[in-house]
Structure 1
Amino acid sequence: MKQITLRDIPDDIVKIIERKSKKDKLSLNRTIISLLERGAGVASGNKSAGPLYHDLDYLFGAWSEKEAEEFESKLKRQRGIDEDVWKKTG
């Protein structure tokens, strides 16, 4: 296997990797490889995972709390079950 040397890794990225490594009880090397696999869309053990997309990431956190509550309220109404529709006949 090939070795790659990375330089100038931002401190916050290093901290995130170290935390994940400790949490998952993996070596730093294994953690970084796992993150690279995920980022490349080749999840470890699942070569058909496909790419991860981030084209909607900018929407994360874009709603105010009020907008989010209104959206959740509307979804909740739509998800309600109309008992009359689902009654068995016969």
Structure 2
Amino acid sequence: MKLLYFAWIRSKIGIAEEEVAPPTEVTTVGALLDWLAARGPNYAEALKARAVVKTAVNQEYVDPDHPVHVGDEVALFPPVTGG
């Protein structure tokens, strides 16, 4: 699974992207975020305001109950504002 991190999420985690192999029980976006937050303090800090973290799976916005699979591309980013 390819993970992409954007804006302050990238800054807090310390990398822009990575390939991961979550455990088989990680079957939804919400479970993936829980697993990531448990990987270390930088992940926990980046994901502590989970209500504002937006997630896209294969370039489509999704909810926390959306399924994830091996081979998916999952992007995590904060809300985007413009002016």
> Same fold by TM-score, threshold 0.5 exceeded?
no
Return the index of the structure with the highest Cα Rg.
1
Q: Which has the higher contact order (CA 8 A, sep 6+)?
A: 2
Larger helix proportion of the pair: 1
Larger strand proportion of the pair: 2
- In the superposition, the TM-score normalised over structure 2's length comes to 0.23
